[in-house]
Amino acid sequence: MVHVPVMLNEVLHMLSPFEDVELVVDGTLGAGGHSMAILENCPNAFLIGIDQDESILAIAKDRLSAFKDRVYFALGNFRDIRSILSDAGFDSAQVFLFDLGISSLQVDSPERGFSFNYNGPLDMRMDMGRVCSSLTAADIVNTWSPAELTMLFRRYGEDPFAFQVARAICRRREKDGPIMTCEELVEVIRSAVPAPAQRKMRGHPARRIFQALRIQVNDEMGALEDLLDELPQITRRGGKVIFITYHSLEDRMVKRNMRSWAEAGLGKPMTSRPLVPSEEELELNRRSRSAKVRGFLFTP
């Protein structure tokens, strides 16, 4: 199992000159792909690596063991960035990197319940309930009303069959009891989406529904909003904030906040448009296909 870091060259380019990089926060450490490249390229960098997933953090600790004197590892949610920084002994940092969403290592672990390709419990909590206690995907699927489920699947999944899937879920749980596994949910989704539409779809018919559930379970938009509120106060003058987003709502939030930071005279976006993956990367790494990179440079 590997997680190939997305748009690594673009991120590194935004960090240059490497010699000047001294204190970096990787707020979504994952398996440490971006962090490793940063530590290798920036000889003077100390890095604070945050992840809310204890099992992923353990993998990153192992992979980055050669740099252990230059890394502080933190189990936590980036929405608590201020207190995590303070535990590490800092009140600000020079560079912040956030590669949002989920790691391939999480998707490819059937027991975590993130994937429509494997069977496992419908869980999807990135923090496994250890950082914040939140609902599991099964809690949502089995307790939310049809209207709430429809709204969720539309908002975070942009699924054209949101209503049909929500209705099928509610019928199924009334008839046969709770839906507890990924396989059961996939079966319900397949039964709700008309066969011709399924044949025409580019991705798996359950992809959008699983995405919506994952975003909700982990309160991904709420965490991002909290983080964006904090960043201008904790980024040093001349510092940089870099985001890799995979969802149009996330990208819009990042864009809007960067625009308001610029309007407040705090600095300027590093590129006029978001960067997108090269043809070559798209071919090598399917996960990069919806990625967008935005950077913001705070005024020195």
Point out which residues bind ligand SAM (CB under 6 A). 3, 5, 28, 30-34, 50-53, 56, 77-79, 99, 101-103, 126, 223
Nearer to ligand SAM, 10 or 184 (CB): 10
Residue type, 159: D
Going from the C-alpha of 107 to that of each of 4, 164, 211, the distances in angstroms are: 13, 26, 11
Smallest separation, CB 200 to ligand SAM (Å)? 29
User: Which residue number, 75 or 201, has a Cβ lying nearer to ligand SAM?
Assistant: 75
Which of residues 27 and 205 has its CB atom nearest to ligand SAM in the complex?
Answer: 27
Q: Is 99 annotated as a binding residue?
A: yes
CB nearer ligand SAM, residue 3 or residue 172: 3
Min CB(28)–ligand SAM separation in Å? 3
Give the C-alpha separation, 253 to 247, whole Å.
10
Beta-strand relationship, 235-245 and 267-269:
unpaired
Nearer to ligand SAM among residue 114 and residue 153 (C-beta): 114
Does the annotation place 164 within a ligand binding site?
Answer: no
- Residue 31 beta carbon to ligand SAM: minimum distance, rounded to whole angstroms: 4
Task: Supply φ then ψ for residue 130, to 5 degrees.
Answer: -95, -25
Cβ at position 9, least distance to ligand SAM in Å: 13
Name the token pair of 272.
């006029």
Q: Tokens 């990367």 appear where?
A: 281
Determine whether the annotation assigns residue 67 to a binding site: no
CA 113, CA 119: separation in Å to the nearest integer? 7
34 labeled binding residue: yes
Find out whether 51 is annotated in a ligand binding site: yes
Residue 230 · residue 92 · CB < 8 Å? no
Minimum distance from CB of 170 to ligand SAM (Å)? 29
Say how far apart CA 182 and CA 189 lie, in whole Å.
11
Asked if residue 211 belongs to a known ligand binding site, the reply is: no
Tokens for 280? 């070559």
The C-alpha atoms of residue 169 and residue 189 are separated, in whole angstroms, by 8
Q: Annotated binding residues, as ranges?
A: 32-34, 51, 78, 99, 106
Binding residues for S-adenosyl-L-methionine: 32-34, 51, 78, 99, 106
